[in-house]
Structure formats: structure tokens, C-alpha cells
Structure 1
């Protein structure tokens, strides 16, 4: 058995452990223990900050630039449509089933195998830093964003998320707004020309039809969606207001701050922004890391989904085994072959990137 095959086998074994160890966001201490034990067995010294596990390559040189490898080990809660035990790792027809198998356990263990392969190597162009992070699914305060205060400056990153092993060179940001449509409260039996619920009809149409003028070549247009609406307490009372939640997926033509300024100025209702920190992410298609993947026949695209890339200010590439459409679905799974391919791809891309003079 080759070294890469051996590492892949150990990675799949770890993934089975992770599946069978509940790790909802903020409660990942036991999966952090599993990852720590895996690294310890591999002879790789690690550090821990809350439920984040992080490691540096053996030949770390503070004078060199830093490449971050990152994926998360927290999961969402299983939905009611599961027909299998979400916490039981089972294999059937080449598929490994279980909660977190696809999002993002397969990516995480593949990156760990890749890091273990490169850990002892010398004379690399970049240092390698691996972070198995917590609280990605809820964008919590104790995830990758908290690690950036601890780690040295990151120059470029690979974020492991399921991309069918294609190169996501950009990712949309996210801004959530709480909106309020006001009216006049009254008894339902009396005339009321200022009914907040009726007023909300035109407001909803405005959000549905509004288009931001700047369209990204990679990420397309900004996408704005009203995702929640609530009003009223009883059948015979016209409420004073209607509450809305608006989800805005931001392309790389705008900062989140610009989106907030535009909507506060133009939207036909009151808006309050929850956070501006989840900005869009990107990496130049000509970046050597991207070119390494393109040279191996991989295509590029823009991702509509959010990840830990949003915490990073450096160029970052989203890449990993698995399919994003399986994430958060019932009976989640990943193909074992996808993990095998993921380990090989990560290692081969870094072979090209970490030894630029030899390629």
C-alpha cells in the first residue's frame, strides 16, 4: 500500500468516527478530541483553541508566506426526513452515509491526509497551517474567525467544502436585514386605509423585482430574497407592523457595507442590518494555486453558498470532494471514491504550488 493510499484509508476511518460523534455548532468538543487523537497517532504535534485544532508543518519558517488548509467539523442538526440513523456511519454501494459526511467531513479528512503527507517535507515555498475549525455552520464567534487572532498572517488559503473537486474561485457574501413595514393598528371590523399587511404587498414586490446594477463575471448578480414574514396576534386585530427578514447574497462587485447603504437608502421600508462581516471572497484565476488546479484539468466557477472563506481577508480557494447539493439533506452521504480523489488532488496541487521552481 502506498503512503497516499494508507493516509486515505486512515482519513476514511476518521470520518467514520466523526459521523458517529455528534458535533452540532458550539458543541464540537468530542469531534475535536477525535481529530486531536488522529494527529497524535500520526506523530503530528497539534494545538487547540476551544474546539479548533490547528497544526503547523515541521519545517515551519516564519520568513515564508503561509498557506492555510481549513475545513470544519461541526454539523447542522439532522432533519426529520432521515430514513437512516444520522449518527451511524454505514457504507452501501460505495457511499458513506451519515450526518456531516459530505458537509464537510469528507473535505476535512482529505485535507488532514494531505497535511500529514506534507508535514515532514522540507524546502517548501510556503508554510502549511491546518485548521480543523468549529462553528462554521452557525458563523459562531469561536470558529475560524477567532483563530485569525492566534495564527500568523495568512497569505492564501484552501477552504475545504464540497465542490465536486472543481475550483470555486469566488464565493458570495451574505447580509441579513430585519425589515419593518408599518401601518395603523385597528379593529378588523372598521375601515383602515393604512393596513400594515396590505402595505407589505408593494414592499414584497419591490424586493422581488429590485436588481443591483453590477453583475459579476464569476458570481453573477446579487441575489435578494425575503425569507421570513410575520405579523398579527389575533383574527380581529389589524397589526401595527409586519416584520420581514431579507437574505442578500452579495457578489464581488460590492462590499457588504455598500449593499447596506443602497438598501437603507432605496428600500420602501425600515431596515436594520444584522452583520456586515460575511463579505464575498475570491482569488485571481491567474493565481499559481488556481493554475495548479487548472493544469490538472479542473474548471473554475463562482459559489453561491457561504463558508469560512467569509472570515478570511486573503485570497482563498474553495475546493473539496462531495456535492454541495447533498449538504443539509436527509440521508447525507459522500462517495468513498470522492474522498480518494480528493486526497490525491489536494496533494498533487500542492506538489505544483509548493515547488514552483521544479514545475
Structure 2
């Protein structure tokens, strides 16, 4: 059965690659996922572009384990040399947009859920959500499903980790920041030029370090990523706009990050866009982590954001593929990574369920 599921999972991934599914445009890939469940006689539900199901022997008295990955993609970048919407198999690599992030994870989790679907006497209930709008952190993705699906006690989020255990993940706060000055004609003296004032601010952001570090996630990482000022060559503008990207470790809440920066940063305003993308983690002594370590997987803290940020329960990020390939030109995943991923998912869950 497992070998057949592997073959069918790879065929599903090919269909997903060849079907455009930018965030909020996943209606056609949702149909492919529905067809899988129909073919395997899995009772499923669809909520907008999220497709989900629970195991046959669901028991409300038991804790529930969520299996989740997403079927939306970013838009392909201009450096692609291959057709991003064509599933191309070369030398054991399956090329195509979304193959690595996170199609390989998704089809591996779908195959795993299907394997356990009719199992009896499981310790955990299983819920799978093939979610939408992960790449855009949109309103109709996994976050919208938490009030729809059964209450979740723990989760495995499928993202490319080389099938190692990402036991913590950094959160994200993006700030819109303003440095003000005195607007003037460029020909006249002005010792309050906002662009020059920004030099001090940029140096402060470059040098600033948060006090608390994390054993798994290291330091909070603060990066100025955008700058905008001025509309004409002969006029000094009134303000410079900066965008600051802050990757938050599990030693801080997003609200604490905002409080620190608003109190200390040398700028005129620092407004967070959202506080909802918090860091996430799972205790190292959780049975999922112990089971993963027992079958030879290593643990680490992930700097990249995923739908884990939507969850308040303990969550583990785990999946086939390599995060460094995500959003890259000529994205690919090895077929052997998918096959190994299904094996490891099943072995891990057999040790827990």
C-alpha cells in the first residue's frame, strides 16, 4: 500500500505543479486534492479553497493531531529557465513551481493521512488540512480553519526541512517607520534634512541587539528592507519612510518587540503592521519530538515563517525538500525525498499513534 501511495502522491504533485495556484487563486488545485480523497474513499470537506478531512474513527474524547501543508504558491521569478507550470522530471528531480514549497510536503502528508485513515484504536485523532493563502498570510487560509475543524492539540506543519525536526520557528513583525525633517529647496541651507537624519537611524537599527536569546532560535533578527523618500531632485522631503523586518525568537512575544522598539528606536514613528505572526515551538520532551529523534532525525530552530504562526498549540515543522530551494528559480524536489518523506512520516506516527 505504501509503495502505491508514493506513486500516486508523485502523480498528484505533478498535477498541482501544472495548475496555477497563486495565493487566493487555489480553486483548481483544491479540485485535484478533492479528487484524491474521492478516489481513496476519504470523506472530506472543502471550506473556500481549504480541503480537510478527519480520520474514520474520530473520537472527541481523544486529543487531535493536525497534519497541515499548503497548496498555494508564490509567483515565479524572472530567472526561471524552465516552464514553472510544467512538471519536468530530470535525473530524479521534479521541477516546477511549488514542487519544493510545499507541494512535496503536502502530497506526502496526504498520502500519510490516507494510510492511517481507517486505522482503529489510534491514540490521537487525525485531521488534515490542505490549506490556502499560506504564502500571503491571507485571511482565508489555515487561520480561518481553526474555528471550523475540531480543536487541535498538536500539529505537524509540512514545510521543507530535509525531514529534520524544526522544533521552533521565528515569528515576524513588519514595521512602517518614519524619520522626519524640515522640507526645503535644495539650494538653501538645511541642517534638519530627513535623509541625513536617517543615517543615524539606520546605524542604530544595524547595531541594535535585543537582550534575550533563544537556545533553539538564537537572537532576534532586525533588518531594514525598504527605504523611500523624495519626489524631485531640487526638494528636500519632509520624511523618509523605512520598512523594518523583525524575526522574533521565542524569548519574546510580538507585543514585547513592539514595546521595546517604540521606546528605543530613534525615529518619529514605528507602526507594526500586524502582531499575529508569533514565534512557535514544541517542547523537546514532547512525544512527537522524542519519536523523531528515536528514528534518527535531528532538531533545529527555523528562521523562516510558515502556518505554524497561526497555531496556539505545540507544533512541529517537518517535511521533505530543502528550504533553500523555496522561491528560487527552477524550483525542484527529488523524488527520493518525497518517498523518504512518506516513510518517515508514517514511521514517526506509528511510534506515537
TM bucket (normalised to shorter chain) is: over 0.9
The aligned residue for residue 347 of structure 1 is 346
1:151 deviates by: 1.4
- 1:180 is paired with a residue whose SS is strand
Cα distance in structure 1, aligned partners of 2:30 and 2:193: 52
Cα distance in structure 1, aligned partners of 2:133 and 2:143: 10
- 1:161 is paired with a residue whose SS is coil
Cα distance in structure 2, aligned partners of 1:86 and 1:42: 29
The aligned residue for residue 223 of structure 1 is 221
Alignment of 1:203-352 (within 5 A): 203-269=201-267, 270-352=269-351
Cα distance in structure 2, aligned partners of 1:266 and 1:353: 46
1:163 deviates by: 0.2
Cα distance in structure 2, aligned partners of 1:30 and 1:45: 19
- 1:131 is paired with a residue whose SS is strand
Cα distance in structure 1, aligned partners of 2:84 and 2:210: 40
The aligned residue for residue 49 of structure 2 is 51
The aligned residue for residue 32 of structure 1 is 30
Cα distance in structure 2, aligned partners of 1:161 and 1:25: 16
Cα distance in structure 1, aligned partners of 2:63 and 2:175: 38
Task: Name the Cα RMSD after superposition.
Answer: 0.4
The aligned residue for residue 166 of structure 1 is 164
- 2:188 is paired with a residue whose SS is coil
1:152 deviates by: 1.6
- 2:138 is paired with a residue whose SS is coil
Cα distance in structure 2, aligned partners of 1:117 and 1:172: 32
Matching of residue 74 in structure 1 with residue 75 in structure 2: no
The aligned residue for residue 357 of structure 1 is none
1:153 deviates by: 1.2
Cα distance in structure 2, aligned partners of 1:192 and 1:288: 64
Cα distance in structure 2, aligned partners of 1:124 and 1:267: 52
1:172 deviates by: 0.1
The aligned residue for residue 91 of structure 2 is 93
Deviations 1:245-277 (A, max 9, x none): 000000000000000011011111110110000
Structure 2's unaligned 5+ residue stretches are: none
Cα distance in structure 1, aligned partners of 2:301 and 2:138: 24
Deviations 1:112-147 (A, max 9, x none): 000000000000000000000000000000000000
Structure 1's unaligned 5+ residue stretches are: 355-359
The normalised TM-score by structure 1 is 0.98
Deviations 1:221-252 (A, max 9, x none): 00000000000000000000000000000000
The aligned residue for residue 145 of structure 1 is 143
The aligned residue for residue 198 of structure 1 is 196
Q: 2:179 aligns with which of 175, 178, 181?
A: 181
Cα distance in structure 1, aligned partners of 2:103 and 2:281: 23
- 1:79 is paired with a residue whose SS is coil
Deviations 1:12-58 (A, max 9, x none): 00000000000000000000011001111111011010000000000
